[in-house]
A and B are shown apart, each in its own frame.
Chain A
Amino acid sequence: KNQVEQSPQSLIILEGKNCTLQCNYTVSPFSNLRWYKQDTGRGPVSLTIMTFSENTKSNGRYTATLDADTKQSSLHITASQLSDSASYICVVSVVGGSNYKLTFGKGTLLTVNP
């Protein structure tokens, strides 16, 4: 079982609509959680990063929430644009001693149609 589960796997919405993507994780000890946007064939671009003490962070039309107790995060996209079509990846960072590990979710593929 993947330690970072994202839902839905794919989502199609109309331009201008809002949407919410979900991320549940089981990795521990948790350090921080990031949301990345990845266009097809390109590198992931960081949207937000939150530590366990933060429960919301915004970046323009993107708002991420985090509930460290239930180990759930969401990414809300407001007033979607065609350029929002991409894969959105939830990444959880685990810190152990001097090392760290990033565990990637499999992403939600968002398609915004005109």
Chain B
Amino acid sequence: AAGVIQSPRHLIKEKRETATLKCYPIPRHDTVYWYQQGPGQDPQFLISFYEKMQSDKGSIPDRFSAQQFSDYHSELNMSSLELGDSALYFCASSLGQPDLTQYFGPGTRLLVL
């Protein structure tokens, strides 16, 4: 069965650079969630979209922005990268109401040097 696809899987950037992470949800899923997981930390919810509209906002820094496109894929744009942004970024998707099980992608590992 198709799963959530994230790209790239690994990314190395320098401080103050920008990065764009992409997420392709499971086909027919209309809700996308972004999480940030630092080393040894539990995932922190960043932001979610339902039917291309922002549905909830968590601890997403102002330097980050995200959107969901007409084909339901989502992109997380990160600017002015800081060393502390180094983490594993997960995307998850679900169908319909946000309370259903979320299916996680494999994550994008971002390293900021």
Interface residues of chain A, those whose CB is within 8 Å of chain B, are 31-32, 34, 36, 41-46, 49, 89, 93, 95, 98-102, 104-107
Of B43, B92, B107, the residue contacting A42 (CB under 8 A) is: B107
Residues of chain B within 8 A of A95, CB atoms compared: 99
Is there contact, CB below 8 Å, between B42 and A104? yes
Contact at A46–B103, with CB atoms within 8 Å? yes
Instruction: Pick the contact of B107: A43, A89, A98, A101 (CB < 8 A).
Output: A43
Which of A46, A99, A107 is in CB contact (< 8 Å) with B101? A46
The chain A residue sitting closest to B98, CB to CB, is: A100
* Count of interface residues, chain B, beta-carbon cutoff 8 Å: 21
> Interface SS of chain A: helix, strand, loop or mixed?
strand
CA distance A98 to B107 in the complex (A): 27
A41 to B107, CA, bound (A): 8
A-B contacts, CB under 8 A, total: 44
- Whether A43 contacts B90 by the Cβ 8 Å rule is yes
Q: Which residue of chain B is the closest to A47 with respect to CB atoms?
A: B101
Complex formed: what's the CA distance from A73 to B104 in Å?
22
Residues of B within 8 A of A107 (CB): 42
B4 interfacial contact with A, CB 8 Å: yes
A98, B99: Cα distance in complex, Å: 10
B99 close to A44 (CB less than 8 A):
no
The 9 closest A-B pairs by CB, nearest first: A43-B104, A104-B42, A44-B104, A46-B101, A100-B98, A99-B56, A106-B42, A43-B106, A49-B101
Closest-CB distance, B94 to chain A (whole angstroms): 10
Check A42 against B106 for contact (C-beta < 8 Å). Answer: yes
- Chain A residues whose CB sits within 8 angstroms of the CB of B109 once the complex forms: 41
Residues of A within 8 A of B107 (CB): 41-43
B102 touches A (CB below 8 Å): yes
